[in-house]
């Protein structure tokens, strides 16, 4: 998602006013503290660790084992082979009527030791099994039966959300030689011969002088801490970034209805606290790390002058609500039980009916959360002194709710423009109506449409996406609405009214609010968002071609971007590394030599369709290999990032690592996963499914592109760019993406009719037409026309 922008800017997070900020802590101390933080996280979840520590067995299994031993002892059988007698000898002899207690205690101790040994053996076996990634190399869509059977044997019957955490393997540190080789291979298509030769010289110098030392520290950290890179990624890429969160870091998600959404979100939190959410299983059998779920609710990113930190509360029984420049505190519980959907609706209606005006500067106060982080940190110190209670009510809320006074969402009168405006409203709003520090803001528009604005540092998109899917399905299909359109349930006249928050804003921060608002509006107005559903084909057609759907789209994006810009560029695709404990993401560098060869062939009139198809399959296979390598911990960028951080701790200057982390990602891409399709009926109720989400571009002259497969026959794309750039145009790239998808599909015999349908709509053939040339001749922006649901 938006992490590409943060990854590009993370070097600047180590600078202050143009001067390098030295990381003063010795590297060994930092590695020690990383491990200490890991152990503290484990200890803070002591009860959860107890529950998951006995997985795949349960506490009842201990009772069963103890009863079996007692029964055997009663039948004068000794399953311990004399060990229980030795244990009895070590126990004190209480004599008299307590003589039999020694036998019971001995049996209990033996049962506990035997039970613990069995559990430990199962854990080790499961960790060894999960450390095997050979199944990733099996053909796409296939998995050997022995692999599935072994996982099921050691996984237990009813795992809870965090049950697998102690069995997940640690993320491996790749070979530094392999990483450098893969890096050089990835930049070859986008560098001139001279630049590539110079980069290769820097790489060889790095391998000769510095690599082994830096690698040794990473291996030490991988042994001591839970993950050798994730905590540094969170700190240096997110929390140390001084850029505004709006557009640069936060991302958004769409939906089609409101009403019971707050209640559904709180139900999800209830299930999360009780670990009743099943763990996510890749391909139905391989568990993914669940650590990021812990910070969904009751979480705020607190600004600091040099570094932010994440504040997470164990519980919160209220939400913070913003409406027409006013802040309210709305309780979510009554007598320790969750308020009904109708009662929550009643509270929100009271806020809508409240005629009181906003206090001076209160209306634009939230613009401070969109300001540069250092500025906001300094202002927050004054705010914490003058308006501590109101600030705590917002930062300590379960989440933030923004009740917008304007409508948004898809309209049938102007579907293209309405979706674009919808995306922009979710990504940036008006710059002062979102509290961007909260883990997420629920945005409810006046026509009932809703969406999310999500802060990125605490977790990645699949986590918030999982919550959002549950919310939409619960809100629509389980809670429902009464015949008069209200939420189901009864009004509660005794319910206290929402509490209006009072901000005693000191005079010295008024200018800061105005300055932050001005900057937020400039940033918001500079974003060009474009959303379009592509409905001529989708995942089902790609499956019939026996190809990976993600790789299909990624290679088509390379073709579209080349037509748009006339050149190749470094491409960032986010891949997850949650196969490992506390894993987050890795980068797939999608602009490969194989993809470039295919694009050149598509733009060459002398190349035939079979030749292009052969090159396309080679490019797809290469992308799949890169994706699998990234998922199995053998990617390039996170390893190079960690090496660079260690070099900074050691105060070593590495021209090679410096060059690596000064690269610009002009095309940043991400697929929005649909993880719970069983909750939705896409064919009969398409309006109830999320249309995905998007993020801002990683580069001032680049694009941010996300996509989601909605069912089998639709793909929705979200494109963003900067209006200030003369090189980019989100609508133009959208047109090229549609053309590229049809051109690629026409290479397959089964896909040729899509292009005939497209031509029948009056659009010209895009094959051999270069978008860069049409832009150079002064072609105007094109508006997107497409088939909508």
Contact 228, 637 (CB under 8 A): no
Is the confidence at residue 20, as pLDDT, over 70? Answer: no
- Looking at residue 562, its pLDDT comes to 98
| CA–CA distance, 186 with 191 (Å, rounded to integer) | 10
Find the mean pLDDT for residues 105-128. Answer: 86
Q: Max CA-CA distance within the chain?
A: 104
Is the confidence at residue 51, as pLDDT, over 60? Answer: no
3-state SS, 741-766, equals: HHHHHHCCHHHHHHHHHHHHCCCCCC
Distance of CA 419 to the CA centre of its chain: 23
Contact 398, 208 (CB under 8 A): no
Residue 681 φ/ψ region, left for φ over 0, alpha for ψ in the -120 to 50 degree band, beta for the rest:
beta
- Looking at residue 774, its pLDDT comes to 33
| CA–CA distance, 515 with 244 (Å, rounded to integer) | 13
Q: Tokens representing 788? A: 């909508």
Helix (H, G, I), strand (E, B) or coil at 414: coil
Helix (H, G, I), strand (E, B) or coil at 242: coil
| CA–CA distance, 75 with 70 (Å, rounded to integer) | 9
Distance of CA 323 to the CA centre of its chain: 28
- State whether the Cα torsion 466-467-468-471 is positive or negative: positive
669 closest CA partner among 558, 506, 546: 558
Q: How far is CA 641 from CA 26, 178, 199, 577, 645, in A?
A: 18, 15, 17, 15, 6
Find the mean pLDDT for residues 387-404. Answer: 96
In degrees rounded to 5, what are phi and psi of residue 119? Answer: -65, -45
Query: Where is average pLDDT lowest: 30-39, 171-180, 387-396, 758-767?
Result: 758-767
Helix (H, G, I), strand (E, B) or coil at 668: strand
Q: How confident is the model at residue 17 (pLDDT cuts 50, 70, 90)?
A: very low
| CA–CA distance, 294 with 630 (Å, rounded to integer) | 24
The whole-model pTM stands at 0.89
Q: Is the peptide bond before 56 cis (omega within 30 degrees of 0)?
A: yes
Contact 639, 179 (CB under 8 A): yes
Residues 271-297 pLDDT 10s: 998 888 989 988 777 899 999 999 999
Residues 199-225 pLDDT 10s: 999 999 999 999 999 999 999 999 999
Q: How confident is the model at residue 772 (pLDDT cuts 50, 70, 90)?
A: very low
597 closest CA partner among 621, 575, 574: 621
169 closest CA partner among 136, 131, 135: 131
- Looking at residue 264, its pLDDT comes to 93
Rg value, the chain, Cα: 28
| CA–CA distance, 170 with 497 (Å, rounded to integer) | 50
693 closest CA partner among 229, 252, 106, 46: 252
Residues 700-757 pLDDT 10s: 999 999 999 988 889 999 999 999 999 999 999 999 999 999 999 999 976 666 665 5
- In DSSP terms, 323 is beta-bridged to 326
- Looking at residue 700, its pLDDT comes to 94
574: which residues sit within 8 A by CB, 6+ positions away? Answer: 1, 3, 4, 460, 461, 585, 586, 587, 588, 669, 670
Query: Where is average pLDDT lowest: 150-154, 328-332, 393-397, 765-769?
Result: 765-769
| CA–CA distance, 15 with 233 (Å, rounded to integer) | 17
By annotation, the residues acting in catalysis are 456
- Looking at residue 504, its pLDDT comes to 87
- Looking at residue 14, its pLDDT comes to 57
| CA–CA distance, 104 with 540 (Å, rounded to integer) | 62
Mean pLDDT of the chain: 86
Q: Tokens representing 637? A: 């960028």
- Looking at residue 258, its pLDDT comes to 55
587 closest CA partner among 132, 172, 216, 186: 186
Task: State percent of the chain over pLDDT 90.
Answer: 58
- Looking at residue 690, its pLDDT comes to 73
- Looking at residue 321, its pLDDT comes to 96
- Looking at residue 549, its pLDDT comes to 95
Residues 587-620 pLDDT 10s: 999 999 999 999 999 999 999 999 999 999 999 9
CA atoms within 13 A on the CB side of 581: 22
| CA–CA distance, 313 with 171 (Å, rounded to integer) | 28
- Looking at residue 787, its pLDDT comes to 22
Instruction: For the chain, give percent helix, strand, coil, nearest 5.
Output: 50, 10, 40
Contact 457, 239 (CB under 8 A): yes
> Angle formed by the axes of helices 341-353 and 261-273, to 10°?
130
> Angle formed by the axes of helices 637-649 and 176-187, to 10°?
120
Residues 668-715 pLDDT 10s: 999 998 888 777 776 666 666 678 899 999 999 999 999 999 888 899
36: which residues sit within 8 A by CB, 6+ positions away? Answer: none
- Looking at residue 156, its pLDDT comes to 64
Q: How confident is the model at residue 18 (pLDDT cuts 50, 70, 90)?
A: very low
DSSP string, 180-204: HHHHHHHHGGGS-HHHHHHHHHHHH
306 closest CA partner among 234, 240, 246, 386: 240
193: which residues sit within 8 A by CB, 6+ positions away? Answer: none
Residue with tokens 């497969």: 709
Helix (H, G, I), strand (E, B) or coil at 79: coil
Residues 445-476 pLDDT 10s: 998 888 999 999 999 999 999 999 999 888 87
Element (H, E) at 632: none
Q: How confident is the model at residue 101 (pLDDT cuts 50, 70, 90)?
A: confident
| CA–CA distance, 514 with 533 (Å, rounded to integer) | 38
Task: State percent of the chain over pLDDT 70.
Answer: 85
- State whether the Cα torsion 50-51-56-58 is positive or negative: positive
How many other C-beta atoms lie within 10 A of the C-beta of residue 482? 10
Query: Where is average pLDDT lowest: 126-140, 346-360, 528-542, 580-594?
Result: 126-140
Q: Tokens representing 192? A: 């001139």
Which one is predicted more confidently, 86 or 707?
Answer: 707
- In DSSP terms, 669 is beta-bridged to 573, 705
In degrees rounded to 5, what are phi and psi of residue 558? Answer: -65, -40
CA atoms within 13 A on the CB side of 94: 8
Contact 303, 442 (CB under 8 A): no
Domains of the chain, start order: 32-134+145-167 (no CATH), 241-527 (3.30.559.70), 535-632+664-757 (3.30.559.10)
Q: Tokens representing 513? A: 């609010």
- Looking at residue 486, its pLDDT comes to 84
Q: How confident is the model at residue 2 (pLDDT cuts 50, 70, 90)?
A: low
Burial profile 105-124: b = 16 or more Cβ within 10 angstroms, e = fewer? ebbbbbbeebbeeebeebbe
Which one is predicted more confidently, 274 or 657?
Answer: 657
- Looking at residue 23, its pLDDT comes to 57
């Amino acid at each position: 998602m938006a992490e590409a922008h943060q990854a590009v800017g993370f070097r600047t997070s180590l600078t202050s006013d143009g001067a390098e900020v030295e990381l003063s802590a010795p590297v060994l101390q930092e590695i020690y503290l990383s491990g200490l933080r890991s152990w503290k996280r484990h200890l803070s979840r002591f009860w959860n660790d107890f529950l998951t520590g006995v997985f795949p067995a349960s506490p009842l299994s201990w009772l069963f084992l103890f009863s079996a031993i007692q029964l055997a002892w009663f039948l004068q059988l000794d399953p311990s082979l004399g060990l229980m007698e030795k244990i009895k000898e070590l126990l004190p002899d209480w004599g008299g009527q307590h003589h039999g207690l020694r036998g019971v205690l001995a049996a209990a101790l033996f049962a506990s030791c035997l039970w613990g040994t069995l559990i430990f053996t199962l854990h080790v076996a499961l960790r060894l099994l999960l450390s095997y990634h050979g199944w990733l190399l099996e053909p796409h869509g296939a998995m050997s039966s022995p692999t599935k059977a072994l996982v099921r044997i050691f996984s237990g019957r009813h795992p809870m959300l965090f049950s697998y955490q102690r069995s997940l393997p640690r993320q491996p540190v790749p070979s530094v030689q392999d990483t450098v080789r893969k890096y050089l291979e990835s930049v070859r298509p986008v560098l001139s011969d001279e630049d590539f030769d110079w980069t290769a010289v820097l790489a060889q110098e790095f391998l000769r002088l510095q690599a082994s030392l830096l690698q040794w520290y990473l291996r030490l950290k991988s042994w001591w801490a839970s993950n050798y890179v994730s905590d540094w990624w969170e700190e240096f890429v997110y929390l140390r970034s001084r850029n505004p969160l709006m557009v640069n870091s936060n991302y958004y998600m769409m939906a089609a209805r409101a009403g019971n959404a707050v209640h559904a979100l709180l139900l999800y939190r209830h299930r999360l606290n009780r670990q009743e959410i099943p763990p996510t299983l890749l391909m139905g059998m391989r568990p993914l790390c669940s650590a990021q779920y812990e910070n969904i609710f009751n979480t705020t990113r607190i600004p600091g002058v040099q570094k932010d930190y994440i504040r997470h509360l164990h519980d919160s029984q209220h939400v913070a609500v913003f409406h027409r420049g006013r802040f309210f505190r709305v309780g979510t519980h009554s007598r320790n039980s969750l308020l009904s959907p109708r009662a929550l609706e009643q509270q929100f209606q009271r806020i809508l009916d409240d005629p009181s005006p906003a206090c001076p500067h209160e209306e634009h106060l939230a613009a401070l959360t969109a300001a540069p982080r250092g500025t906001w940190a300094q202002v927050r110190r004054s705010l914490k002194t003058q308006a501590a209670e109101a600030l705590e009510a917002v930062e300590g809320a379960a989440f933030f709710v923004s009740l917008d006074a304007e409508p948004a969402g898809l309209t049938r009168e102007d579907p293209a423009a309405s979706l674009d405006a919808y995306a922009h409203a979710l990504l940036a709003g008006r710059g002062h109506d979102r509290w961007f520090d909260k883990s997420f803001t629920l945005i409810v528009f006046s026509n009932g449409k809703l969406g999310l604005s999500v802060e990125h540092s605490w977790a990645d998109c699949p986590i918030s996406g999982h919550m959002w899917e549950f919310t939409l399905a619960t809100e629509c299909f389980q809670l429902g609405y009464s015949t008069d359109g209200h939420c189901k349930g009864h009004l509660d006249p005794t319910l206290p009214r929402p509490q209006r928050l009072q901000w005693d804003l000191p005079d010295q921060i008024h200018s800061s609010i105005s300055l932050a608002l001005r900057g937020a509006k400039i940033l918001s107005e500079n974003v060009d968002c474009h959303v379009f559903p592509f409905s001529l084909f989708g995942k089902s057609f790609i499956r019939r071609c026996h190809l990976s759907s993600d790789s299909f789209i990624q290679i088509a994006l390379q073709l579209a971007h080349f037509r748009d810009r006339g050149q190749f560029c470094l491409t960032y695709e986010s891949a997850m590394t949650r196969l490992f404990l506390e894993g987050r993401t890795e980068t797939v560098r999608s602009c490969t030599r194989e993809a470039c060869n295919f694009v050149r062939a598509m733009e060459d009139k002398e190349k035939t369709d079979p030749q292009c198809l052969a090159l396309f399959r080679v490019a797809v296979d290469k992308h799949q290999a890169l994706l699998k390598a990234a998922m199995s911990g053998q990617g390039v960028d996170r390893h190079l990032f960690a090496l660079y951080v260690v070099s900074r701790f050691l105060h070593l200057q590495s021209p090679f690592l410096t060059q690596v982390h000064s690269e610009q990602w002009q095309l940043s891409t991400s697929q929005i996963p649909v993880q719970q399709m069983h909750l939705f009926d896409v064919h009969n109720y398409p309006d109830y499914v999320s249309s995905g989400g998007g993020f801002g571009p990683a580069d001032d002259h680049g694009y941010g592109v996300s996509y989601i497969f909605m069912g089998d026959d639709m793909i929705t794309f979200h494109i963003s760019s900067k209006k200030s750039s003369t090189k980019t145009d989100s609508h133009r790239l959208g047109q090229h993406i549609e053309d590229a998808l049809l051109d690629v599909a026409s290479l397959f015999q089964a896909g040729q009719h899509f292009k005939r349908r497209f031509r029948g709509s009056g659009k010209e053939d895009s094959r051999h037409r270069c978008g860069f040339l049409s832009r150079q001749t002064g072609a105007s922006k094109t508006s997107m026309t497409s088939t909508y649901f």
